[in-house]
Amino acid sequence: MLKLHHHPMSTASRFARLVLAEYGERCELVEERPWERRREFLVINPAATLPVLFEDSGPPIVGGIVVGEYLDETRGAFQRDKRLMSEKPLERAEARRLTDWFLDKMESEVTRYLIRERVFKLEMRADNGGGAPDASAIRAARANLKHHLRYLGWLVESRDWVAGKRLSYADMAAAAALSTLDYIGEVPWESEPQVKEWYMRLKSRPSFRALLSERVRGLPPSLNYAELDF
């Protein structure tokens, strides 16, 4: 039995959930608020980061990229043409590079700030960092988002999928990042029509259904969040 400690607005958590769904794996979800540093959660992951995956009574598997690699080795290797990592080393390297881009670089320049300021601060107590959003952080993240969208637009215009000719972890990572931002209406879709077309393809996959049906307490999604054709 798989158990995933996650937060619904964590990009890395969404990435792990999309990969699990693509591989047809059922998983028990445990929602965590990592800023609360819950004692039981710190025992399994002292860094208090998400996601954390458990399989049966095994040790914790920590971090979106690490969870993805574990699932590729234990599930993907048996999926043949549905595997989300190529068996060719250079293609795997490119998929890894871009997975890291969206789960690390884009997270550190865009997603972390917009989600923290517009979502997490609403749930945080004052002594945990809650309070009014930081307008300067939001402006900087929005400016950085334009560059990431432009790069993603170039990728999907010049390739069939983000990392090449096949659907891969890179697509799951990019879609996970954009889906969190789309929930709060922060993606200027009309600025990059190629990205919008690519995202609609991803959004229409069965693996996305659970994400599109979820709602964050006290925060309704943007009008087009659950629309497959928008």
pLDDT of 129 strictly over 90:
no
CATH code of 89-205, in short, is: 1.20.1050.10
Q: What is the pLDDT of residue 49?
A: 97
In angstroms, the CA 195 to CA 200 distance is 9
Buried b (16+ CB within 10 A) or exposed e, 64-85: bbbbbbbbbeebbeeeeeebbb
Other CB atoms within 10 A of residue 149 CB: 22
Q: What is the pLDDT of residue 127?
A: 87
In CATH, which of 3.40.109.10, 3.30.390.10, 3.30.360.10, 3.40.30.10 is domain 2-82?
A: 3.40.30.10
Other CB atoms within 10 A of residue 189 CB: 16
User: pTM for the complete prediction?
Assistant: 0.97
Average pLDDT over residues 49-64: 97
* Alpha-carbon radius of gyration of the chain: 17
In angstroms, the CA 83 to CA 198 distance is 19
Percent of the chain with pLDDT over 70: 100
Q: What is the pLDDT of residue 128?
A: 83
Average pLDDT over residues 31-58: 97
Average pLDDT value for the chain: 96
Q: What is the pLDDT of residue 32?
A: 97
Average pLDDT over residues 60-81: 96
Q: Tokens at residue 58, please?
A: 């095994």
Domains of the chain: which residue ranges?
Answer: 2-82, 89-205
pLDDT of 65 strictly over 90:
yes
pLDDT of 126 strictly over 90:
no
pLDDT of 67 strictly over 90:
yes
Q: What is the pLDDT of residue 153?
A: 98
HEC secondary structure over 98-130: HHHHHHHHHHHHHHHHHHHHHHHHHHCCHHHCC
| Residue-wise pLDDT tens digits, 147-196 | 999 999 999 999 999 999 999 999 999 999 999 999 999 999 999 999 99
